[in-house]
Amino acid sequence: MGHGSVFCCVSSDCAAKDPLSDVLALLRPRSAISVGLDAGGEWAIRFPAYEGIKFNTVLRGACWVRVEGETDLVRIEAGDCFLLTRGRPFLFATDPILPAIHSATIYDAARDGVATCNGGGDFLLIGGRFFFEGDHAGLLCGALPPIVHVRDASNQAAVLRWSLEQLATEMRDGSVGSALMADHLAQIMLLQVLRLWLASENRGAGGWLGALADPRLARAIGAMHADPARKWTLAALAGMAGMSRTVFAVRFRAVVGQTPLDYLVGWRMRLAADRLRRTGGRVADIGYSVGYESEAAFSAAFRRVLGLTPMQHRRAAAGGRGGRSPAAADRGNGDRAW
């Protein structure tokens, strides 16, 4: 399996590859509707399950946020930004023990992109929802906590707030080029909040995303992303990280949750799945592009990792089961306001 040199990569292209950009490019985030919440007094609002990632910022006041199935409450204050990543129902409240109303009670009556609770005036939040065109949203969402909290203390919080306000304007006004502008804003905001989270004290999460906070592991992951078809060995990857094979293997597994070569195979299969979905290339050629010299070896690895043969995956994508458009997803879950 594989082709190319087994020696350690020293090219600038290999060393400079950016895995986070790779993943976001594979997922192709797209923006969705954006609605604000203006609330007054004491309140609690229960929201249903959703698709994609929700991105919100509080402009005035404060509230508690809790995701269903999680015990922790997160306090969100004016100026903070946060992502909701799990797709599970969640609660916004000034006091979590208050009886909660369903979001549809107020969001179905939203005017000019803002839902009002108790007359408004004390609390203001604006929020958007990002969908992913690609098939592998779990690659990102699974590496994040249920709530990604970026505090106002960050000098980038103002930029994120401006971006979300601009996104709301673009989607509300529908000016020439607004769809493209909204999609680019979505990608910029998502990338920036992930950067801030990785740089914060919360970066101790595991998985491939947590590994990017470790410069040594990041170099090895970047090398695999730069040349996925290469016949990588544990020794070559350890060399990229500047570590011994044993220390590298132990450290990588402890942080990422799988061995370096298992991570490589998984990344290859995700690239291949995307190419099968988006191009008409021959299965053998796609397999070769990710390091497999025979179609049989590629097909076996693809099925082992993704549970389908390459052709089954292609047919499922062509039949509309490989991904859902933002509009379709929005209609499908009844979550009109978000």
List the domains of the chain with CATH numbers.
Answer: 12-23+208-318 (1.10.10.60), 28-203 (2.60.120.280)
Mean pLDDT of 94-104: 95
Cβ neighbours of residue 329 closer than 8 Å, sequence gap 6 or more: 51, 52, 131
DSSP letter (8 states) at residue 103: T
- Tell me the per-residue pLDDT of 7-40, one tens digit each, with 9 for 90 and over: 334 333 444 468 888 887 787 777 665 678 999 9
- Of the ranges 56-60, 194-198, 260-264, 291-295, which one carries the lowest mean pLDDT score? 194-198
- 136-176 pLDDT, tens per residue? 777 787 788 899 888 875 566 677 777 767 766 766 676 77
Q: What's the pLDDT score for residue 251? A: 95
* pLDDT score at 326: 32
The rounded distance, in Å, linking the Cα atoms of 321 and 315 is 9
For the ranges 17-21, 55-59, 262-266, 279-283, the lowest mean pLDDT is seen at 17-21
Q: How far apart are alpha carbons 203 and 144 in whole angstroms?
A: 10
Predicted pLDDT of residue 59: 85
Instruction: Give the single-character DSSP code of 100.
Output: P
Asked whether residue 271 carries a pLDDT value surpassing 90, the answer given is yes
Provide the mean pLDDT of the chain.
81
What pLDDT does 49 receive? 93
Determine which of 142-156, 174-188, 274-288 has the lowest per-residue pLDDT on average: 174-188
Q: How far apart are CA 157 and CA 152, in angstroms?
A: 6
Quickly state the pLDDT bin for 335 (edges 50, 70, 90).
very low
With tokens 């979905």, the residue in question is: 277
pLDDT at 311: 94
For residues 86 and 18, what is the distance between their CA atoms, to the nearest angstrom?
25
The tokens describing 93, both together, are: 């409240």
> How high is the pLDDT of residue 220?
95
Mean pLDDT of 172-186: 72
Does residue 3 have a pLDDT over 70? no
DSSP character string of 191-238: HHHHHHHHHSTTTT--HHHHHTTSHHHHHHHHHHHH-TTB---HHHHH
The share of the chain scoring above pLDDT 90, in percent, equals 47
Q: What is the pLDDT of residue 8?
A: 39
> Which pLDDT belongs to residue 333?
34
Q: Give tens-digit pLDDT for 206-231.
A: 688 888 888 899 999 999 999 999 99
Model's pTM, two decimal places? Answer: 0.72
Amino acid identity at 208 = W
| CA 316 – CA 45 distance, rounded (Å) | 38
What angle, rounded to 10 degrees, do the helices at 19-27 and 260-278 form? 30
